Amino acid sequence: AVVIFDDKPMFTSVGEMLRLSTERTRELLKLELEIERSELLEQWHFASLEKIFIENKIYIKFDGLTYEEAIAITHKLLKPHTKHLKREVSDEDVKRLLELRMRRITKHDSDKADQLLLDLEEKLKQVAHNLEHLTEFAIAWFKKLKEKYAAGRERRTEIRNFENIDAAKVAVSNVKLFVNKVEGFAGYALKKGEGDFVSDCSDIDDIIIIRRDGIMQVSRISEKSFFGKDILYCGVWKKGDDRTIYNLIYLDGRSRAAFVKRFAVTSITRDKEYPLTTAEKGSRVLYLSVNPNGEAETVKILLRPVPKLKRVRFEFDFSQLAIKGRAAKGNMLSKHLIHKIEMKEGGVSTLSALKVYWDETIQRLNYDGRGKYIGAFAGDDKILTIHKNGFYKLSPFADATKFDEEIILMEKYNPEQVYSMIYWEAAKKQFFVKRFQLEPTDKKQSLVGDIEGSYVEMVTSDATPRVFVQYDKRGGDRADDLISLPHFISVKGQKALGNRLTPFKVKSINILEPIKPLETAPETNRDIAPSEFPSTKSKDDIPPEGPVQITLEL
């Protein structure tokens, strides 16, 4: 960190800053103690003079004298009694004595004066002790800070742990990436008409470039950089991204055969050119697709007609191909020249779903198993968050996603899921209940209307939620209610007001464990023989009243 120390910038660590701050506080405490000692000495000095002045009736000796003569005679009369004082008696001391009112003189109490002097001497001893043990005094002072100043000054910030932050993951998207594929330029400062828009990104992101000749390069984004003509692909690259899969078909310049491969780009050396083909002269890319979640499409291949070639059309499914390293040669697709490649249909992800967790401590998503398990995500899956202020939002499951505060529900979004919610309607000043399905949206949407002060009391995705409503007994002795929300209200739209929970004043609302459906016994088609029915009992076999156990004779 950089701080100003003695009017100069100084580079230092947090520990060193704390040490300097603590030493500064210690010196200030020493100064305060010295000031306190000086004030106590002055109080003791004048209290001693006042006691001598009154008890020896010096005030009656200068009757009829001028002010200057009174000062001089007071000095003379005090001198025999001031040997125990800690400093000389000054003219200012005498002037203060002469200003004492007669009422104070007549009400002088010798015992109280002695007690005052003793108290001052005890305080002086304590101050002297604190100065001798200044470090211990400073430690005790720090410990008493919270006790002394806590009331009314409670912490408003939240204590959380910090994690290692990748700047590129959390950087704001403050620039736009453009590319001129023909001329080979890319950057965020290309003039209007010079290139095509790629995406929003930050000015510290890396970009990946793949050219027609099969050369791949990763570089830090700049205003405008040249990467070579005939660019096939330009995009933002993230280090360690093993879910973005590149599907590639290329022509080998030496054998003239076509090869196919799938790979991820997880690590590179910036600005180094990597060949994605065999690097033979004449090698070039015939087909390329970039798939953020490992999708594998099916393509139609049209070969160049040659004599004796019977099959000029065929299809290839990329999902049949394993994902390998960037430098792998790949599998031979055809030894004949390819005339045209077209996508037949998009595919689904070939990667396993990603398990996502929410770490409440640092308020971040992770894939490492830390915190609450949210679900397994793939493709366009979204995370649903419902907040205390009544808004809900659908967000991507990337670990760099930022979330608003006061999340009361976070789970994997399912458009068919029914949610049950109790919320406070500020305009009507009552609790309302509603059940609804959430519409897919890219924007924040309110579930409680636009009235300021409305908020969500509870929300759940359980199928059979129950709540226990406790009433305020000050308005009357009313029994508390146990309410099953599915029986209380049917499913409506998310913008519906809902039904009023109760007209009475509520003390608390607690959600209970949902009722689990009973497991049904498996059906059987076997016929039951008469011998399998219970035999008829006589009257003597009838058990007495009360709980009974029936025994079947099988």
| Residue 283 domain flag | yes
- Cross-sheet strand order for the sheet of 372-377: 364-366, 354-359, 372-377
CATH number, residue 246? 2.120.10.90
CATH number, residue 35? 1.10.268.10
The answer to whether residues 230 and 293 belong to one domain is: yes
Inter-CA distances, 11 with 1, 16, 550, Å: 6, 10, 86
Q: Tokens 């209940």 label which residue? A: 433
Question: Rounded CA gap, 329 and 280, in Å?
Answer: 12
Take residue 462 and report the two structure tokens written for it.
């359980």
Question: How many CA atoms lie less than 13 Å away from 392 in the CB half-sphere?
Answer: 26
| Residue 543 domain flag | no
The answer to whether residues 121 and 38 belong to one domain is: yes
The answer to whether residues 126 and 60 belong to one domain is: yes
The answer to whether residues 295 and 177 belong to one domain is: yes
The answer to whether residues 502 and 466 belong to one domain is: yes
> What was the pLDDT predicted at 171?
65
Last residue of a domain, one of 149, 178, 200: 149
The three-point CA angle 194-197-202 to 5° equals 110
> What was the pLDDT predicted at 184?
94
Question: Rounded CA gap, 408 and 406, in Å?
Answer: 6
Last residue of a domain, one of 84, 114, 149: 149
The answer to whether residues 503 and 407 belong to one domain is: yes
| Residue 194 domain flag | yes
> What was the pLDDT predicted at 168?
61
The answer to whether residues 139 and 178 belong to one domain is: no
DSSP percent split of the chain into helix, strand, coil, nearest 5: 25, 30, 45
Residue of 299, 297, 289 whose CA lies nearest to 245: 289
Strand 215-220 and strand 185-187: pairing?
A: unpaired
Question: Rounded CA gap, 207 and 195, in Å?
Answer: 15
The answer to whether residues 493 and 446 belong to one domain is: yes
Rg (CA), the chain: 43
Residue of 390, 403, 409, 507 whose CA lies nearest to 456: 390
| Residue 281 domain flag | yes
The answer to whether residues 133 and 232 belong to one domain is: no
- Judged by DSSP in three states, 258 sits in strand
- 167, 204 Cβ separation under 8 angstroms: yes
What is the DSSP secondary-structure string of 104-165? HHHT--HHHHHHHHHHHHHHHHHHHHHHHTHHHHHHHHHHHHHHHH-TT----S--------
Strand 430-437 and strand 491-492: pairing?
A: parallel
The three-point CA angle 285-290-296 to 5° equals 100
The answer to whether residues 329 and 249 belong to one domain is: yes
The answer to whether residues 198 and 334 belong to one domain is: yes
What is this structure's pTM? Answer: 0.55
State the total domains in the chain: 3
The answer to whether residues 240 and 301 belong to one domain is: yes
Looking at the DSSP bridge assignments, the partners of residue 499 are: 433
Question: Structural domain of residue 220, as residue ranges?
Answer: 170-345
| Residue 126 domain flag | yes
Cβ-Cβ contacts under 8 Å for 528 (sequence gap 6 or more): none
Query: Residue 32: what are its φ and ψ, rounded to 5°?
Result: -65, -40
Widest pairwise Cα distance in the chain: 147
| Residue 357 domain flag | no
| Residue 84 domain flag | yes
Q: What integer best gives the mean pLDDT of the chain?
A: 85
Question: Rounded CA gap, 112 and 51, in Å?
Answer: 10
> What was the pLDDT predicted at 251?
96
Residues of the chain where predicted confidence (pLDDT) is lower than 70: 1, 61-63, 106, 108, 158-172, 475, 516-554
| Residue 536 domain flag | no
Looking at the DSSP bridge assignments, the partners of residue 470 are: 508
